[in-house]
Amino acid sequence: MINFKELANEHKTPLYIYDLDYMTKQYGDLKDAFKGRKSIMAYAVKSNSNLSIVKHFADLGSGADCVSIGEVRRAFLAGVPAYKIIFSGVGKSDDEIREAIEKDILYINVESEAELGRVELIAKELNSTSRISIRVNPNIDPQTHPYISTGLHDNKFGVELDTAKRMYIRANNSQYLDPVGIHFHIGSQLTELKPIYESAEIVADLVRSLSNIKIELKFFDIGGGLGVKYDDEITIAPYDYAQAILGTLKGLDLTVICEPGRFLTANAGYFLTKVLYEKQNGAKRFVVVDGAMNDLLRPSLYNAYHKIEVITDSESELSKADVVGPVCESGDFFAKDYQLPVLEHNDLLVVHSAGAYGFGMGSNYNTRGRSAEVALEDGKARLIRKRENFEDLIALEKDLLV
């Protein structure tokens, strides 16, 4: 049982809280689901990039799926070995590609023919060979929110099958490229098994086609995206997920790479915010809290649902209210028409399922310092990121003021 009042008193609000024991369990469940097949879990750093979180998974044996050179650097700082680091993303700069090659990571995940050309050219300049994977877009509808769909031709990610095959032939013929893997990721918050299976089948068939022309790959990267329960979603069991993937790989000697993020961290996280006051505009009730969209953007960006737990002495009847923050935007809300009791100044609200795409998507909009972050492990709490203050926010500006 988490003592939210105690944490609020010690660390103030707004505050992010992460249950590391829950993350450990989720990691173990997913890793166990792939037993019997060579596999690497590569934590998707973008879901929660706090160094202590990345280190926690590294200590469990995880690699890291990174989508910027900054995330690659975080992975190294957190103790992830180079041979377990993958660098993905549609728009890598030359400097990022160069650094990734120099750091000798497992592979660069290439997303276009133009990018393949840049990687080859930079590897040549470095007189090196770059291991690469190619991200294939299987054109399968993931049946998820359009903003987090990545496996259709309408999405910016990956390349179609014919293009991928042409890229593999080019890479295989280049002395500066070493094609070692194939990758697909059709979207986030996946709750249907069929699109995952269909995508894996398409990509596995491409691997067989490449093998027929003597291009032998080592890694079958299935991405991440396994959905979690925010409200009443029916989610996929890790075992069923693994079996759907593995069922497409018969006869193929490949190491499976899985890139979980949200599945590991979302329901391990809580966002704690304090009630400032209530407000009534005609028939409309508002609960104004000290947290805002700059702290937790998902409700504003996706209209995402998060369960809200109330910590109060109030025993009043429930009525609908919008939970809103101080940011000067009508889009600054955590919930609309949410059933809540009458709340008083300093009552606490706990926003659940905030461990993924929470702090990391935060900003300093309205010159607001980002919240502190606390980790819970074996019943003990420890600070893993200090709260930003005003001096932190202006540190890169004040010496340039003229």
Check the annotation: does 259 bind a ligand: yes
Q: Which domains does the chain have, with CATH numbers?
A: 4-15+267-390 (2.40.37.10), 34-260 (3.20.20.10)
Q: Is the pLDDT of residue 151 over 50?
A: no
Task: Establish whether 37 is an annotated binding residue.
Answer: no
223 is in an annotated binding site: no
Average pLDDT, the chain: 94
- In a 13 Å sphere around the CA of 250, the CA atoms on its Cβ side amount to 4
pLDDT digits (tens, 9 = 90+) for 276-335: 999 999 999 999 999 999 999 999 998 999 999 999 998 899 999 999 999 999 999 999
Residue 202 CB coordination number (10 Å): 18
Q: Which of 328, 400, 401, 402 is catalytic?
A: 328
Written as six digits, the tokens of 260 are: 């979980």
What distance in Å separates the CA atoms of residue 82 and residue 80, rounded to the nearest whole number? 7
Report the alpha-carbon distance of residue 245 to residue 114 in Å, rounded: 30
Model-level pTM? 0.94
329 annotated among ligand-binding-site residues: yes
Asked if 339 contacts 320 with a C-beta cutoff of 8 angstroms, the reply is yes
Q: With contact defined as beta carbons under 8 Å apart, do 46 and 71 qualify?
A: yes
Q: What is the pLDDT of residues 227-245, one digit of tens each?
A: 999 999 989 999 999 999 9
Length of the chain as a residue count: 402
Residue 148 reports pLDDT greater than 50? no
Which of 95, 34, 106 minimizes the C-alpha distance to 70?
Answer: 95
- Is residue 357 part of an annotated ligand binding site? yes
Yes or no: say if 325 and 298 are a contact pair by the CB < 8 Å rule: no
pLDDT reported for residue 287: 98
Distance of alpha carbon 297 from alpha carbon 359, whole angstroms: 9
Is 208 marked as binding a ligand? no
Catalytic-residue membership of 328 = yes
- Percent of the chain with pLDDT strictly greater than 70: 96
The pLDDT score that the predictor gives to residue 141 is: 65
Instruction: Give pLDDT tens digits for 328-387.
Output: 999 999 999 999 999 999 999 999 999 999 999 999 999 999 999 999 999 999 999 999
**With 70 as the cut, is the pLDDT of residue 112 above it?**
yes
Residue 146 has pLDDT above 90, yes or no: no
What letters, b where the CB count within 10 A reaches 16 and e where it falls short, cover 13-35? bbbbbbbbebbbebbeebbebbe
Rounded to 5 degrees, φ, ψ at 40 are -130, 125
- Please, which residues bridge with residue 177 across strands? 130
Question: How far apart are the C-alpha atoms of 224 and 256, rounded to whole Å?
Answer: 12
Range with the lowest mean pLDDT among 138-152, 189-203, 260-274?
A: 138-152
261 is known to lie in a ligand binding site: yes
For residue 139, what pLDDT band results from cuts at 50, 70 and 90? confident
Residue 302 annotated as binding site: yes
